[in-house]
Amino acid sequence: MTLVDISAQPERHGAKIRSAVAAGDGARSRIAASWHRCASYYGLAPESVVSRRILTERELRDSREQLGSLSDRIFPALSRLSKILSPYNVCTSFATPDGVIVALETFVDDADALRNWGLARGADWSEPREGTNGIGTCLVEETPIAIRHDEHFFLRDTVMTCLAAPVFDHLGQIGGAFNVSLCGSDVDSPARALIASLVLSSTRQIEIDHFHACYANRKIISLPPANGQSGGVLLAVDADGVICGATRAARTQFSLTDARLRSGVCASDVVAQGDDDFGTSERSVIRRELVRTNGNVSAAARNLGVSLATLKRRIARYELRNVFRGE
């Protein structure tokens, strides 16, 4: 495998990072913000050679348990994504919220090189441990991110370019991150944007499928994202029209905190559905029953438990005479 040239002096790589940190570039760049955290908060030095931390099998099982039922969707999705990307020199992985790789697939045949690069099950890629990198920085920032080879904090990691995206669970909490590491000749692949898009699509589909599974007995409302925001904007609603669950994207879009959801939020107050009053509610109940009975007013009256005369008056009031024809 042809590798990226990392023969540049460690001092040059370190000087670039320290210069950005000193200039306060962290306010303008997620990469520089990560460099600042690494140098100022974690006490890391870019020239340092820190040993890789690889969890034992027992530690790895404990870490994997964090995923819960989310793992039912993660591992099949990882396999599908890996097969799609098989023409490239890539390593596809998933890491837990604490940055540990629990699943990994690759068609790169140099296992020793992959392990040296930390691309192995059980490898700890948390940002405080490994500095700026796809997995760790994605989990800290909680947003999709691309770390080009020379943007890694440690010089040894500049052999790869990483494309990562977070996965959020049904409660809107970070559930882990998908990561694709481009190695060797594909580190600057022109297909990088396409690969990043595939990673993001995979994570969003996992979130949608997991949300539906967790609220299988509830009505799910799907809404368009606002302001170009990515992710499935989904609300789970109970029989009374009260929101009982929301994806991370929905929580962000509608400012739905855990506290607000616990106190009760009506779906009609979040989704513009017109006036929410007794008249509107009654009209909706009558309209649904007329649709069910294909416009048979007598049958609708029986099902609703009201007299035929009363129902006819309500139909006239709400102008529902032609509802069974879809008007």
The residue among 194, 212, 230 that closes a domain is 212
Asked whether residue 237 falls in the same domain as residue 118, the answer is no
Burial 109-139 (b: 16+ CB within 10 A, else e): eeeeebeebbbbbbbbbbbebbbbbbbbbbb
The pLDDT value given to residue 230: 57
- Of 254, 270, 286, the one marking the end of a domain is 270
CB neighbourhood size of 88 (10 A): 20
Domain hosting residue 156, numbered range: 51-212
Q: 11 lies in a domain? A: no
Q: Are residues 238 and 161 in the same domain?
A: no
The pLDDT tens digits of the residues spanning 4-39 come to 445 556 778 888 999 888 888 766 789 999 999 999
Q: 235 and 126, same structural domain?
A: no
Residue 246 and residue 118 in one domain: no
12 part of a folded domain: no
Q: Distance between CA 322 and CA 309 in Å, rounded? A: 17
Cα 180 to Cα 212: distance, rounded to the nearest angstrom: 26
Looking at the predicted structure, is the pLDDT value of residue 128 above 70?
Answer: yes
Structural domain contains residue 5: no
Tokens 């991110």: give the residue.
145
Asked whether the predicted pLDDT for residue 139 surpasses 80, the reply is yes
56 shares its domain with 199: yes
The better pLDDT of the pair 230, 62 is held by: 62
User: Does residue 20 sit within a domain?
Assistant: no
Q: Which pLDDT band holds residue 147 (cuts at 50, 70, 90)? A: very high
Q: In what order do the strands lie in the sheet with 233-237?
A: 219-223, 233-237, 243-246
Residues 171 and 247 reside in one and the same domain: no
For the chain, what is the mean pLDDT? Answer: 87
* Residue at 4 is within a domain: no
Report the C-alpha gap between 94 and 125 in whole angstroms.
Answer: 11
182 backbone φψ class: left, alpha, beta (φ>0; ψ -120 to 50): beta
C-alpha 205/C-alpha 117 separation (Å) is: 29
pLDDT higher than 80, residue 327? no
Q: What is the pLDDT of residues 201-225, one digit of tens each?
A: 999 999 999 999 999 999 999 988 8
Write down the pLDDT at residue 227: 66
Residues 131 and 266 in one domain: no
Residue pair 313/306 in contact by the 8 Å Cβ criterion: no
Between 304 and 165, residue with greater pLDDT = 165
Residue 225 domain-assigned (yes or no): yes
Q: How many domains does the chain have?
A: 3
Q: Within a domain: residue 199?
A: yes
Regarding whether 123 and 75 lie in a shared domain, the answer is: yes
Same domain, 106 and 167: yes
The answer on 62 and 207 residing in a single domain is yes
Task: Read off the pLDDT of residues 246-291 as tens digits, 9 standing for 90 and up.
Answer: 999 999 999 999 999 999 888 888 886 555 566 667 888 888 888 8
Strands (E), the chain: 90-95, 101-106, 145-147, 160-168, 174-183, 219-223, 233-237, 243-246
Residue 201 belongs to domain with CATH number = 3.30.450.40
110 & 239 share domain: no
234 and 186 in a common domain: no
Domain membership of residue 37 (yes or no) is: no
Which pLDDT belongs to residue 229? Answer: 57
Domain boundary among 212, 235, 262: 212
